[in-house]
Structure 1
Amino acid sequence: MPEIDQHQPTTFCPSQLATRDVQRAKIFYNELFGWTFDDVRLPAGDVYTRCRVRGREVAAFRQVGREAGWTLCISVHNVDTAVQRATRLGGRVRSAPNDLLNLGRMATIEDRDGATFGVWQSQALPATLRARPAGEVSTACWHELSADDPADAQQFYTELFGWRARTSHELGREYTEFRVGAQAVGGLVKKPAPRTPPSWIAYFSVRDCDWAARIAAVMGGQIVAAPRDLPTVGRFALVRDTEGSVFGILGARPS
């Protein structure tokens, strides 16, 4: 598989999981995705864990004492500039820009609809620490936003990141793809249930969606949406991990 040595600005980079129990998260995601882990002790005493596939970083865990959850991160040239622009566009800063040792600089932002995402500025690191596999099983393969107001969300993100939006009508619903050049980087859909909050979700590639869903359930997770086929895409499911953090899995459709 090809490897990404440096993420193109305004494309997604490894997502970060806030977890109250790093060891429990390691057991769950190792069993599900086969991830291996590399812990870094932060100055405040917290643990930052790099999750790896074949030695390459594909996600990260960060120990917290508050609400757990996945934060999808978007690579930018300059975090502070991105935060200022998001604020001018009506977004809200959830956590101010801060440096994570010599790994990078990050902030979290809430869009106008209330969905949270991160912006990440990588520091100059050796490629062996920075790179990740592309298009490989157990790595993120898609990122999708469920919004209250898709038209407003489309305007916010295209102005913030310069993404191009292409909207189609398939399977009885409107779906928008965000693109950087010719590359599709994420999707946008109206959220299915009025009471659910707007949110970004990461989908991770698996060989067999049904098998992965069963493993997640056996390990103490919960199946939010049972495996089903999505024409031209594959077979997907939504899962909550042992702390309630939601993510998706996507595999090939059965032949």
Structure 2
Amino acid sequence: MRDPHLAVPYYPYGAPCWVDLLVSDVDRAQAFYSELFGWRWLTGDAASGGYTMALLGDHPVAGLSHRPPNARIPSQWTTYLRVGDIGVAAQAIANYGGRPLGRPVRIGALARTMVAIDPGGAYFGVWEPGDLPGSGMLDQPGSLTWNELLTRNYDVVLDFYENIFAHGFIDETENGGPRWSTAHTGDGNPAFGLAEIEDDWPKEIGSHWVTHFATENVVTSVAHALDLGAQLLQGPFDGPYGLGAVLSGVEGEVFSVLVPELD
């Protein structure tokens, strides 16, 4: 297999730049997402701990890791925010009410990473880039197009990300609707959505990030995903970021397919 292209979009500080999937059955997950998104796989060498990347064409678009049997973290998609110094980020996360999970991990020459829990209970990651600044493709079918954080602790979580990542939040709440806003990075570009989980949602739904992958046709993608063993959780619906649907994958991991509105 040829090496992936590492010329990628520019990711400013605090921008979601990478996503990866933690699952127990790697082979099953690879088969599912290869069929759904047309991905192929590049397994790293010993220096990267065998870290596996999904390629769309020759562009790296996501990562895949094996979940140990005793892991406390569930099978899930993790959104990584770009940082400059992961040690500084880890200290800031702890100072502002988050909880780093273990020490930073080096993925060979690609990056240093760490997973943490924010004050609302949502898992997220930080990404100090090396040779891989982030996803090599955005907004194309089968690649990352948007990230959204749903939380039950809206005010505290907004302050947390604002203080650590210098996000500027623009309130988008409509009259009578749930609170939501769009986080912007220092260059003014939208980074991710923040939405409040209201009391009428089922109690078992905790705070969580949702990774949105682009598609040209939501109905077709949902039907294909269901044929492959996924479950439909919500939609299709016309939301603030485009026409989308929320699914759970082969081990219950939550993700979305979305026709992005890029204007």
Equivalence for 1:183:
189
Equivalence for 2:19:
15
Q: Deviations over 1:159-210 (max 9, x none)?
A: 0100001002237232110001221000111114243111111111111101
Q: Deviations over 1:112-159 (max 9, x none)?
A: 11111000111146x9xx661232121111111111121111100000
Q: Which amino acid aligns with 1:21?
A: D
Counterpart of 2:178 (choices 170, 173, 176) is 173
Equivalence for 2:112:
105
Counterpart of 2:255 (choices 244, 247, 250) is 247
How far, CA to CA, are the matches of 2:79 and 2:135 in structure 1? 17
Q: Using structure 1 for the length normalisation, give the TM-score.
A: 0.89
Q: Which amino acid aligns with 1:145?
A: L
In the alignment, structure 2 segments of 5+ residues that lack a partner are 1-6
How far, CA to CA, are the matches of 1:70 and 1:133 in structure 2? 18
Q: Using structure 2 for the length normalisation, give the TM-score.
A: 0.87
How far, CA to CA, are the matches of 1:84 and 1:34 in structure 2? 39
More displaced stretch, 84-93 vs 5-14: 5-14
Give runs of ≥4 in structure 1 deviating > 3 Å.
41-44
- Percent identity of equivalent pairs: 24
Q: CA RMSD in A?
A: 2.1
Q: Give 1:23 deviation, angstroms.
A: 1.4
CA contact (8 A) 2:230 2:247 kept: yes
Q: Give 1:5 deviation, angstroms.
A: 4.7
Counterpart of 2:206 (choices 197, 205, 224) is 197
CA contact (8 A) 1:47 1:63 kept: no
**SS of alignment partner, residue 213 of structure 1:** helix
After superposition, the Cα gap between the structure-2 partners of 1:51 and 1:228, relative to the gap in structure 1 and judged at 3 Å, is same
After superposition, the Cα gap between the structure-2 partners of 1:233 and 1:111, relative to the gap in structure 1 and judged at 3 Å, is closer
How far, CA to CA, are the matches of 1:233 and 1:118 in structure 2? 22
Equivalence for 1:83:
90
CA contact (8 A) 2:17 2:82 kept: yes
Give runs of aligned pairs for residues 7-46 of structure 1, distance below 5 A: 7-42=11-46
CA contact (8 A) 2:76 2:254 kept: yes
* Count of paired positions: 246
CA contact (8 A) 2:62 2:135 kept: no
How far, CA to CA, are the matches of 1:7 and 1:235 in structure 2? 25
CA contact (8 A) 1:14 1:57 kept: no
CA contact (8 A) 1:209 1:252 kept: no
Equivalence for 2:242:
234
How far, CA to CA, are the matches of 2:126 and 2:76 in structure 1? 16
Counterpart of 2:215 (choices 206, 211, 230) is 206
